[in-house]
Structure 1
């Protein structure tokens, strides 16, 4: 098996790859750059962007190729961002055991297996599932319309509907799907793989999800509370997962987390939580128009509204600054458009710290001030949330301007 190791937003590497595998990577758009190396035949120039994780390509007539993309942030911090974005109320740092894992895939597999084991220690959760069936015995209620449509007046069999108390419920199906997803990926340590196989055997009577089928929904309740953390991690595996498709004639299987989306979700949800006990409200991905004719649409990541329902502040999250010497100018133009359309004197761009510290720009002839903030993802979760609360206070102070 060919293994390609890349780092998020690192310089491009020239890697020996079969043309079929390189073409599949280029078609999948997993990487920012995947082109043939003009100076080295049989090599491809690969550069990772903001997607991190691992994918495997099955090459017809050749050995599989695995691409692993390592995040820049520490693994523990990445799991905090994932967990907080999924459940800002119930997630706490340290609840997910990562073991002595420093790579994303082994850490994720270990964490999922530990949480699934914890959820299933008291046995599989049971619940009611709506069932529609044809039967020789009446159970539940008769579906009269279906009886007439399918049976043309015949007495038997009977079209019935009933609620069945079973372990074959959404929560268990999600856990089984996540376990099976991880078992298909190379790079999972053997000791973790053995434990995952044990968890799959415990879920053997649960109906597996069909590939391409929508993930069933579940709702947190007191009855399924022991499943909550396992389900959040399982959804992280399945939602961020993988392109499972045929790109360039090859199958690609794995999981990826988009750091741009993950950072945006964290910032906007953390800001919304900071305003929860105030008279201010937040709208995420709030739709607006730049022009009077409502032809030019725009969707700021977060718009803060006052008690009267008027915009008070606007913020946009940007994970990666593209310029090596500072923030990209295009972000400033975008925020200027938001402030102009919303009638706000100040706007806030929020970056992951790396290129430049906080700065502010006053726009000539307009008087609009655009702030550029930098959150330090290397800080502890408590300190990171403290930075967000400080930003929230500054945005709320814009009302007095």
Structure 2
């Protein structure tokens, strides 16, 4: 087996790979991949914002496993995930990752531990609507179906009833997540053994059909012990999972998109900072740049004041500031948001920067664009404190003096 180790946004590396594997990686867009012009038979690979692991079985050769490690620590990564999923129920250390230092092993460990806790008191039971054909009447008769399918025959009877069963949405989601993890590469042997045990506990639950919508569940007091496990299961089932065939090769794995994860954390944390105030936050708020409504925009977060009028706009960017500053395109995008919403200020939130805050006043417009940098290496409580400070600044429109002009 060929194992390729890459770092998130690290410099490109030259790796000897079969052409079929290199083409599959290039087509999948998991990483930037191109033949190395200076080393025949090698490919230059560079990871972007996707972290995790993928496997490529190569016909006639050794399989290739690609591992991409995040810049932030595994513990910090799962704090971002846990808080985004459940900000009010989050507690530091709630999502256990064990001693694992890679994304997929840590995720598999965390899911298995939460599933074990959820099933500790036995499988959840609930009522499920069932439609069936039977020789005895149970529940109610579906008269229209009886006429349409039986043409006046008395038996069998088309019936509908509520069945009290363990085959409910919550258990089906947990089983699907466990089975998904068991199909992935790089899950440690001890974790895989425990996942097999959890699958055995869920053996009587119907499997989900791959490709179909996940069943809907609602958080209640009765399923409270399942909440954390279900949210992590959703991460597994909704994650960027490159399962497809490219150039004759099946690419399988699990990836986190750090851009999306950072965006989710920032917007959820800002929304929580304004909870209980007279302000309201709308995430991914659909807007239009032009009066005809043809040019669509979707800012990450728009803050509305007590009068229901937009007061501030924020956009999260998972980019570290370079020596020549942040990309100018981000400023142009925020200027468009502020202009369309009629706002005097806008806020760009980055993962890290050389200064915690800078601001720019746009010439002939009077619009101030703020650039904030969050330090993801800080302790969770301190990081959330930075977000609350940002929220306070967003609520004080026009009170921060800019230090630059664009």
Q: If the TM-score is normalised by the length of the shorter chain, which range does it land in?
A: over 0.9
| Shift in Å, 1:46 | 1.0
Residue 343 of structure 2: aligned partner: 344
Alignment check: 8 A CA contact 2:54 2:185 kept: no
DSSP-derived class of the 2:51 partner = strand
For residues 295-350 of structure 1, the C-alpha deviation after alignment (integer angstroms, 9 at most, x for no partner) is 22211111111111111111110011474532111001111111111111111100
5+ long unaligned stretches in structure 1: none
1:228-377 map, 5 Å: 228-321=227-320, 323-377=322-376
Shift of 1:262: 0.7
Q: 1:329 to 1:400 in 2, by over 3 A?
A: closer
Q: 2:20 matched to 1:14?
A: no
The answer on whether the counterparts of 1:312 and 1:399 sit within 8 Å (CA) in structure 2 is: no
Task: Give distance in 1, aligned partners of 2:118 and 2:222.
Answer: 12
How many corresponding residue pairs? 400
What is the distance in 1 between the residues matched to 2:217 and 2:398? 39
Tell me the distance in 2 between the aligned counterparts of 1:130 and 1:18.
Answer: 52
**Structure 1 counterpart of 2:108:** 109
CA distance in 2, matches of 1:307, 1:399: 17
Report Cα offsets for 1:11-57 as digits up to 9, x if no partner.
111112122222221221112x1112222222111111111111112
Question: 2:58 and 2:205 mapped to 1: Cα distance?
Answer: 32
Runs of 4+ in 1 over 3 A off after TM superposition: 60-63, 321-324, 354-357
Q: Pairwise mapping of residues 177-216 of structure 1 onto structure 2 (< 5 A)?
A: 177-216=176-215
State the distance in 1 between where 2:72 and 2:26 align.
Answer: 26
CA distance in 2, matches of 1:315, 1:218: 31
Q: CA RMSD in A?
A: 1.6
3-state SS of 1:277 partner: coil
TM-score calculated relative to the size of structure 1: 0.96
CA distance in 2, matches of 1:293, 1:96: 47
Which residue is 1:158 aligned to?
157
Does the residue aligned with 1:39 lie in a helix, a strand or coil? coil
- Tell me the equivalent position of 2:226: 227
Q: Which residue matches 2:48?
A: 49
Q: Which moved more, 1:58-67 or 1:42-51?
A: 58-67
Give the 3 Å change call, closer, same or farther, for CA 68–197 of structure 1 in structure 2: same
Give the deviation of 1:188 after TM superposition: 1.5
CA contact (8 A) 1:126 1:169 kept: yes
Map of 1:168 onto structure 2: 167
Q: Name the residue aligned to 1:122.
A: 121
Counterpart Cα distance in 2 of 1:260 and 1:50: 6
Deviation, 1:210, is 2.2
Distance 2:379 2:13 in 1: 32
Partners of 1:307 and 1:111 in 2: CA distance: 41
**Could you tell me how far apart the structure 2 residues matched to 1:324 and 1:196 are?**
46
SS in 2 for 1:319: strand
How big is each residue's C-alpha offset from its partner over 1:248-303, in whole Å with a ceiling of 9 and x where there is no partner?
Answer: 22222221111111111111111111111111111111122222222222111111
Does structure 1 retain, via aligned residues, the 8 Å contact 2:374–2:383? yes
CA distance in 2, matches of 1:307, 1:392: 15
1:5 equivalent in alignment to 2:5: yes
The superposition leaves residues 58-108 of structure 1 with CA deviations (integer Å, 9 ceiling, x where unpaired) of 333433222111111111111111111112221222112221111111111
Distance of 1:27 and 1:356 partners within structure 2: 38
Tell me, yes or no, if the aligned pair for 1:327 and 1:355 is still in contact at 8 Å: no
Mapped to 2, the partners of 1:159 and 1:189 lie a distance apart of 49
Conservation of the 8 A alpha-carbon contact between 1:54 and 1:69: yes
Contact preservation (8 Å) 2:240, 2:257: no
2:396 counterpart SS class = helix
Give the drift of 1:186.
Answer: 2.3
Write the distance in 2 (CA, Å) between the matches of 1:356 and 1:181: 42
CA distance in 2, matches of 1:131, 1:62: 50
